[in-house]
Chains A and B, each alone.
Chain A
Amino acid sequence: MNSLLLGSIPEVPLAHWIDGFVDWLVQFTGFFNAITNFIGSINNAFQWVFDIIPIWLFIVLVIALTYYVNRDQQNWGLLIFEFLGLLLIWNLNYWRDMTQTLTLVLTSSLIALVIGIPLGILMAKSHTAEIILKPILDFMQTMPAFVYLIPAVALFGIGMVPGIVASVIFAMPPTVRMTNMGIREVPDELIEAADSFGSTEWQKLFKVELPIAKTSLMAGVNQSMMLSLSMVVIASMIGAMGLGTKVYFAVGRNDAGNGFSAGLAIVILAIILDRLTQSLTRTRRKN
């Protein structure tokens, strides 16, 4: 019965349409080349910095930064963990891979932030924008991340850039959502106070809404960063270099030892990035 009924309806050529759309996009080569170059140069800039800093200095800088952001509530355990963890990565000869992964994460988080925060603000301010963006964000986050790799390769070639693009798409939603939520949760009375003193919309945004939404906004940034870190292994399939590549190769060779040690390096990097962004989230006071 079922097959009979379905048999009379022709199959919807969904895959064909999507192919057609991607093919149509490919003709804008100039545009996508420009984006590739732009993202590539951000990526190269980060990588260049990480390559000229001596490893020992890098470790010192990370520890100093942690010490600084936690200056009023020092976390000695974290400092020791960072020191030992980074030494281990150095010792395992994963240093350059680690910096490549870090570059990918930083670049994609930066782009996610630059696009995501304004989108979140727009969503908080406009009901229409919220209705339109919400399903798109759900789509971006629930679509299996592998799928983004296919059009990314078609449009941006192989290498770091398509990996970054796929990471941005997958990692941006929390930043947008949390920015939106943070601004919507600013108490009405504070908005009324800002209006009653004659603030312009921009003044209200920068002096009242964003500072008060800061905690939730930073939580979104933290989540985005963690999500883009989770993309590194997937991105390695299209040639994004780094620790992900080591894991990917280990899977291919059924090499549990190297797979786990590269995986462990990712975990160490994840913990350091997570704790650092979390300490930035805490509100700090003058006195």
Chain B
Amino acid sequence: MFISIPRMGDLMSTNKSTKVEVKNLTKIFGKHINKAKELSRQGKDKSEILKETGATLGVDRANFKIYDGEIFVIMGLSGSGKSTLVRMINRLIDPTDGEILIDGENLMKMDKKELREVRRKKMSMVFQSFGLLPNRTILENAEYGLEIQGVDKDTREKKAKEALETVGITGYNDEYPDQLSGGMQQRVGLARALANDPEILLMDEAFSALDPLNRTDMQDQLLDIQERLHKTIIFISHDLNEALKIGDRIMIMKDARVIQTGTPEDILTHPADEYVEEFIENVDRSKVLTAGNVMIRPMTVNIEKAGPRLTLKMMKANEVSTAYIVNAERKLLGVVDANDVIKLVREKKGDITPIIQTKVPTTEEDTPISDLMDDISQTGIPFAVINDRKQLKGIIVRGAVLGALAGNEVSDFE
């Protein structure tokens, strides 16, 4: 059902070296920890333990290995313990029990100073809501990790700029985080993590706060960067599609326990239990994918800026026969056809309003494509995806829908 593309992990499968090894890692929040441990050994589940002891089982005896240079996705719904788990790997949360070995060194045996060195040199973290310092410029944010290591100003500026370039942020050095969009802010978050040149990247739901188009962009970019830098990436996600797309291996968690670890192919073909099966069932792509997932960027013309001549020029440059007309607030007004525009240009008219066709089928970002299939197959004009303020977010073309159903990722630029 899915097109299988060889991934980093598969290519290196003959020569895997372990980067991170986690043994019996456990976190219990609250009091009565020993009793809770006992109950979990007896096989009681998270809610039973909470009821009997008042303690919350965060992560229960997790065992796994992460190989050098792979993207390891830890997947689960909220409350499954995935965020707790990733925070134990750099000991932002201190485990109740268990071992964390990084390159064979036990993190649990380190004192504060040694731990600080590991955090400074070996691993960096990217946060869900970016975690940028609002009082610092973009460049100063990217420099943070190096600054606290005492790296001199010139060197750290140079490295921070390189990292910002790597993630595609240039020309914003002196702006502040709140002047940038969410996608851009998360790029800065990623750049800040990369500036230290760590071996391990911890990414906690790093793309979950972004809108669908931006999220796809960032996923692609992460894969791009990974191809060049070969970091070991531990990526937390609640989105199976994201996990399948970027993960070399995926670990599925439920209620503090690890359910299954394997390649995307493994998980799809040999689900460990009903829970995972249910998850995969949901990957009936026409139901999982929404209009927002398969939409592409349309060619838009701002009616308040462009007349027929400019419109035609833009359409030629983009090689499209239909352009979407919006006003300054990106509110969708309709579409124009290239032939009509050419006619207007020949007649030397200055206004494109008369030729706008206002009958455009529209839908919203979170509509599943299964609901749209009938209409898509019957109409020739692509669906316009709009939000509640009638602003144009993207369009859905047949090719992209078919591609997405076949398991291909939708590219934003056709």
* Interface 0/1 of B213-248, CB less than 8 Å to A: 000000000000000000000000000000000000
Enumerate chain A residues within 8 angstroms of B174, measured Cβ to Cβ: 286-287
| Inter-subunit contact B135/A196 (CB<8 Å) | no
- Interface presence of A199 (CB below 8 A): yes
| Inter-subunit contact A199/B129 (CB<8 Å) | no
| Inter-subunit contact A200/B116 (CB<8 Å) | yes
Task: Name the residue on B nearest A212 (C-beta).
Answer: B135
Enumerate chain B residues within 8 angstroms of A200, measured Cβ to Cβ: 116, 148
- Interface presence of A255 (CB below 8 A): no
- Asked, given contacts A196-B92, A203-B148, A287-B175, whether A189 binds B116 with beta carbons under 8 Å apart, the answer is no
Task: Name the residue on B nearest A197 (C-beta).
Answer: B145
Count of chain A to chain B residue pairs whose CB atoms are closer than 8 Å in the complex: 65
- Asked, given contacts A189-B127, A207-B148, A286-B174, whether A197 binds B133 with beta carbons under 8 Å apart, the answer is no
Query: Could you tell me the distance in whole angstroms from the C-beta of A16 to the nearest C-beta in chain B?
Result: 46
Complex Cα gap A211–B134 (Å): 9
- Interface presence of A7 (CB below 8 A): no
| Inter-subunit contact A197/B124 (CB<8 Å) | yes
| Inter-subunit contact B148/A196 (CB<8 Å) | no
Identify whether the interface residues of B are mostly helix, strand, loop, or mixed. Answer: loop
- Interface presence of B149 (CB below 8 A): yes
- Interface presence of B64 (CB below 8 A): no
Task: Name the residue on A nearest B115 (C-beta).
Answer: A198
- Interface presence of B309 (CB below 8 A): no
Interface size class of B (residues with CB under 8 A): 20 to 34
Query: Could you tell me the distance in whole angstroms from the C-beta of A86 to the nearest C-beta in chain B?
Result: 34
Task: Give the total of A residues in contact with B, Cβ under 8 Å.
Answer: 20
Enumerate chain A residues within 8 angstroms of B124, measured Cβ to Cβ: 196-197
* Interface 0/1 of B121-137, CB less than 8 Å to A: 00111011111111101
- Interface presence of A195 (CB below 8 A): yes
| Inter-subunit contact A192/B176 (CB<8 Å) | no
- Interface presence of A283 (CB below 8 A): yes
| Inter-subunit contact A286/B137 (CB<8 Å) | yes
Task: Give me 8 other A-B pairs in contact (C-beta within 8 A), A197-B144, A197-B192 excluded.
Answer: A189-B128, A189-B130, A192-B92, A195-B119, A198-B117, A200-B116, A207-B133, A207-B148
27 contacts between A and B (CB under 8 A): A189-B127, A189-B128, A190-B131, A192-B127, A193-B125, A193-B131, A193-B144, A195-B119, A196-B92, A196-B119, A196-B123, A197-B125, A197-B145, A197-B192, A198-B117, A198-B119, A198-B148, A203-B148, A207-B133, A207-B144, A207-B147, A207-B148, A208-B133, A212-B133, A212-B134, A214-B135, A286-B174
Seen from chain A, the residues whose Cβ lies within 8 Å of a Cβ on chain B are 189-190, 192-193, 195-200, 203, 207-208, 211-212, 214, 283, 285-287
7 interchain residue pairs of minimum CB distance: A198-B120, A198-B119, A193-B131, A196-B125, A197-B145, A189-B131, A198-B116
